[in-house]
């Protein structure tokens, strides 16, 4: 509903249902795309189509203008990133297996932070301790380490802070949170966390990046605001002028969202542990 109220209703909410044309839907999608939120534009097309199908089935509308085109017909092509990820129904078992991981402790903690914070893997494993503020429960990543080359703030849930405090006992005397096994001045290999997932039985089924896709889908399905989700994923393309402001935009709402996400994961973990014990 939040997506409809923010992006759809202002454009077509005042129109009778049969007055809505294909061009209205196209314009809604293109406006959303300008925010760098192509996925949200696609979901808007899907939601509008569902509404019209519902109306047609009840003889409240005569046609579905969203059916006249596919999102790829109007949205700019984006570089394809095919990162394997499990379905939401498989998340409890994955989290339980991660929690029982009997390999290196740094790897186990790294998997936990990928889940709780859903950063890109390189952003996590290359992080120095100086980026973490325990008092404010924030992880502040400078622009030179971000894909979009703009600063980024990750509000830290209570669970993420707990993991980081445990990590600090292991690596807090060095510069890096996740130093390499042989050279402590360099970060651990980019494949370390991926191969840990492989050892848990998830080769071809889950990647570190998969947690980002899961978070995006589940948070949106639970009515968190699209812009808050996209900002937290650092998906939104920002110019240099707006970057300094936008990286802290909606920080209160994003903080609440990240705590909800960590609590949700803990609930799923508990389900997974019960299932494995059965």
Which residues form the catalytic set?
Answer: 120, 147, 209, 212, 235, 245
Between CA 277 and CA 183 the distance in angstroms is 39
SS (H, E, C) the chain: CHHHHHHHHHHHCCCCHHHCCHHHHHHHHHHHHCCCCHHHHHHHHHHHHHHHHHHHHCCCCCCCHHHHCCHHHHCCCCCCCCCCCCCHHHHHHHHHHHHCCCCCHHHHHHHHHHHHHCCCHHHHHCCEHHHEECCCCEEEECHHHCCCCCCEEEECCHHHHHHHHHHHHHHCCCCECCECCCCCCCECCCCHHHHHHHHHHHCCCCCCCHHHHHHHHHHHHCCCCHHHHHHHCCCCCCCHHHHHHHCCCCHHHHHHHHHHHHHHHHHHHHHHHHHHHC
Bridge-based pairing state of the strands 138-141 and 152-155: antiparallel
Q: How far from 125 is each of 2, 57, 121, 176, 177, CA to CA, in Å?
A: 34, 51, 6, 8, 7
Between CA 136 and CA 155 the distance in angstroms is 9
């Amino acid at each position: 509903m939040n997506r409809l109220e923010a992006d759809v209703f202002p454009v077509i909410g005042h129109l009778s249902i049969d007055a809505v044309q294909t061009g209205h839907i196209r314009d809604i999608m293109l406006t959303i795309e300008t925010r760098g939120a192509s996925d949200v534009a696609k979901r808007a097309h899907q939601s509008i189509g569902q509404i019209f199908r519902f109306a047609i089935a009840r003889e409240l509308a005569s046609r579905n203008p969203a059916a006249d085109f596919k999102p790829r017909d109007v949205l700019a092509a984006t570089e394809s990133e095919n990162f394997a990820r499990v379905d939401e129904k498989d998340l409890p078992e994955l989290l339980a297996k991660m929690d029982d991981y009997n390999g290196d402790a740094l790897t186990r903690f790294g998997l936990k932070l990928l889940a709780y914070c859903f950063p890109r893997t390189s952003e996590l494993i290359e992080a120095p301790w100086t980026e973490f503020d325990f008092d404010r429960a924030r992880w502040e990543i400078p622009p030179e380490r971000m894909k979009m080359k703009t600063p980024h703030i990750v509000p830290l849930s209570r669970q993420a802070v707990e993991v980081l405090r445990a990590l600090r006992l292991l690596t807090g005397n060095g510069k890096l949170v996740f130093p390499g096994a042989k050279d402590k001045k360099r970060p651990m290999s980019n494949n370390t966390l991926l191969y840990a997932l492989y050892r848990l039985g998830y080769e071809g089924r889950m990647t570190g990046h998969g947690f980002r896709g899961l978070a995006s889908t589940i948070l949106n399905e639970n009515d968190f605001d699209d812009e808050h989700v996209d900002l937290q994923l650092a998906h939104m393309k920002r110019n240099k002028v707006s970057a300094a402001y936008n990286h802290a935009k909606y920080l209160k709402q994003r903080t609440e969202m990240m705590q909800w996400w960590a609590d949700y994961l803990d609930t799923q973990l508990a389900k997974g542990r019960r299932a494995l014990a059965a």
